[in-house]
Amino acid sequence: MEYRALVLEDIRENDEIKALILQQSKYLEDLGYTEHGIRHISYVSKTTANILRETGADERTVQLGEIAGWLHDIGNALSRKYHGLTGGALAYNVLARMGMDPAESALIANVIANHEEETGVATSALSAALQLADKSDAHRSRINKRTYDENDIHDRVNMSIKKNYLVVDRNKNIIRLVIIMDGTSAPMEYLQIYIPRMVMCEKAATYLGYTFELVINGVLINHHKRARGKMVLRSSERELSPTD
Ligand SMILES: [Fe+2]
Ligand SMILES: [Fe+2]
C-alpha cells in the first residue's frame, strides 16, 4: 500500500481537522479557558519543530512535530477531561483516513495522548519536544477577554506574562524557559499553577539529554548548580518562537 508523507499544509487544509479545531477552540472559550485556538496550536507546532531541529532530529521527525503540535489539543473538541487520550484516538483515525503511514499515525497518536501532565510520559523525542512546547505557552495573548477575571489566578498569571520563549543551548546542554512577568501577578503565583507542568518540562528535557532551566524575571528558579541570581542571556542564544 502506498502511504502519503503528509506535511502540516495537508493537515491545515483538511475539513475534518478544521472542524475539530474550531470545536475545541469554541468549547474551551465557552468554558472560560485561556486561548486554545489557532494561536496556541501554531505556537506549539512551530516550537515543537524548532526544539526537534535544534536538538538534532531528522527532517521527517521535525515535520511530524509540526503535525503533532497542530493536532495536540483536538481532544478538547469532545471534552477537557482526558483530552490527550481522546485527541490521540481522533488524530489516529483522521490521519489514517488521509493516507498517512500507520506507524507515523500511531506515533503521533501516542505523542498527543501523552501531552498532559496528569498521565503523560515522554518515550520519544517528538513527545518530549511537544510537552516542552505546550507547557511553555503562557502569555497575555492567551487571555480570553470576554471572561477575563482578575480574581482568577490563571487569568492573572497569563495577563502578567509579557514575554516568554524557549532557548536550546546545545553547547551547555540546557533547554531554558525564559518568562518576563509584570506586577499583575507574581512568580509565586506562576509556580502555584505551573509546578506540575514545569516538572514535566524537566523530565522532557532530561529525555532529550538536556537540563531544563526556568528563568523568571532574570532569576533562575529551579536549578542551583550554576550561578545564582541574575542571569545574563548571551546574544548568541536564539529565541524559539517568541510570542510577543
Ligand atoms: Fe492539552
Ligand atoms: Fe495545548
Strand partners, 216: 179, 219
**Smallest-distance ligand from the CA of 130:** 2
Number of H helices, E strands in the chain: 9, 4
Alpha carbon distance 74, 89 (integer Å): 10
pLDDT in tens, 21-33: 999 999 999 988 8
pLDDT at residue 231 in the model: 47
Sort 133 into a burial class: Cβ within 10 Å, 0-12 / 13-18 / 19+. Answer: buried
Q: Are 240 and 47 in contact (CB under 8 A)?
A: yes
Residue 226 lies in a domain: no
Alpha carbon distance 144, 99 (integer Å): 36
Residue 126 lies in a domain: yes
Question: Residue 209 is part of a domain; what is its CATH number?
Answer: 1.10.3210
pLDDT at residue 1 in the model: 83
Distance 44 CA to ligand 2 centre (A): 7
**Smallest-distance ligand from the CA of 116:** 1
Q: Are 193 and 154 in contact (CB under 8 A)?
A: yes
| Listed residue (8, 36, 49) closest to 241, CA to CA | 49
List the domain range (segments joined by +) for residue 198.
Answer: 8-220
Residue 231 lies in a domain: no
Distance 80 CA to ligand 1 centre (A): 8
CA distances 36 to 47, 85, 133, 147, 233, Å, are 15, 17, 14, 14, 30
Residue 105 lies in a domain: yes
pLDDT band at 49 (very low <50, low <70, confident <90, very high): very high
Distance 134 CA to ligand 2 centre (A): 5
* Count of domains forming the chain: 1
Residue 111 lies in a domain: yes
Average pLDDT over residues 134-157: 90
Letter for the amino acid at 75?
G
Residue 235 lies in a domain: no
**Smallest-distance ligand from the CA of 120:** 1
Distance 79 CA to ligand 2 centre (A): 13
**Smallest-distance ligand from the CA of 45:** 2
pLDDT at residue 229 in the model: 43
pLDDT band at 242 (very low <50, low <70, confident <90, very high): low
pLDDT in tens, 65-80: 999 999 999 999 999 9
| Listed residue (190, 182, 176) closest to 232, CA to CA | 176
Distance 136 CA to ligand 1 centre (A): 12
Sheet of 219-220, strand order = 161-169, 174-181, 211-216, 219-220
Residue 166 lies in a domain: yes
Distance 229 CA to ligand 2 centre (A): 31
Distance 222 CA to ligand 1 centre (A): 23
Residue 242 lies in a domain: no
Alpha carbon distance 119, 116 (integer Å): 6
Around ion ligand 1, residues with a beta carbon closer than 5 Å are: 73
Between 32 and 93, name the one with better pLDDT.
93
Average pLDDT over residues 192-221: 96
- Stretch among 135-144, 169-178, 198-207 having the lowest mean pLDDT: 135-144
Alpha carbon distance 196, 216 (integer Å): 16
